[in-house]
Amino acid sequence: MRIDKSARIDPTANIASDVHIGPFAIVGPRVSIDAHTHIGAYTIIEQNTVIGSHNRISPHVVLGADPQDKKYAGEESFLRIGHHNTIREFSTVHRGTQGGTTTIGDHNLLMAYCHIAHDAEVGSNCTFANGATIGGHVVVASNATLGGLCAVHQFCRIGIHAMLAGGSMLVQDLPPYLMAQGDRARLCGINRVGLRRADFTRERIDDLHRAYKRLFLGSFSRAREEMRTAPCSREVDIMLSFIDTSKRGVCKARR
């Protein structure tokens, strides 16, 4: 364990071996940090935060701060961060509200100035480019990508392997495997590059492309009814299930 002498550690914090804590960092009450995690200088971890192993937290990050929610009245709430994440400088991740928990999975990259709000759920292997912001109760599934300076309205969902382009404003759900861009973001096709990088075969990508065209570039209701009874690939089933369970509605396609 290497803790700079200028750092401040609450006596109730649980710090594992081989954790590095840089100058002037502050670790608050009931914080747990697992082995081989690096906490940068001036970083603040406020309270009720669990951080797994092999994470790299850059300087000036704030984790576990009070939620920015007018309903919050000081109730105990939590933040849980998995393993092998990289959180770059000046990013902020807040605890849940009304006893809730904000969760981040494993192997995620949050570039500088990102914000994850209260009660959000982020899967694993996600990339948040500089300045990406998600509101309260947002769900971001694994392998999703958020471009720089994009924003996601509270309670929205982003599906697995989806991509939200830089500068976009998402106010409805973004289905799995698809791309969206623009103010009040609209769908602009499947995330073909991301799927290739994830080793999807050409056949699986083409199948998703056909499903996208049927659902979003034709008659959605008719295509959805036809696809309910026809045999579909696993990926198309995941997309259809996501659409069926949407509460905010899904993005419309750009024509």
Q: What is the pLDDT of residues 25-68, one digit of tens each?
A: 999 999 999 999 999 999 999 999 999 999 999 999 999 999 99
Catalytic residue among 64, 136, 147, 194: 136
Q: Give the per-residue pLDDT at 53.
A: 98
pLDDT at 228 over 90: no
Share of the chain above pLDDT 70, in %: 100
Instruction: Phi first, then psi: give them for residue 57, nearest 5 degrees.
Output: -105, 115
Known catalytic membership, residue 136? yes
For the ranges 29-33, 164-168, 226-230, which has the lowest average pLDDT?
Answer: 226-230
Give the H or E element holding residue 164: strand 163-164
pLDDT by residue (tens digit) across 185-222? 999 999 999 999 999 999 999 999 999 999 999 888 89
Report the pLDDT averaged over residues 121-149: 98
Catalytic residue among 38, 60, 115, 118: 118
Q: Which residues pair with 51 in a beta bridge?
A: 33, 81
CA distance 55 to 13: 17
pLDDT at 240 over 80: yes
Which 3 state secondary structure label does DSSP give 197?
A: helix
The model's pTM is: 0.97
Report the pLDDT averaged over residues 235-244: 95
Cα–Cα distances in angstroms (integers) from residue 146 to residues 16, 166, 182, 226, 232, in the given order: 32, 7, 13, 32, 28
Q: Give the per-residue pLDDT at 27.
A: 98
Catalytic residue among 106, 119, 173, 207: 119
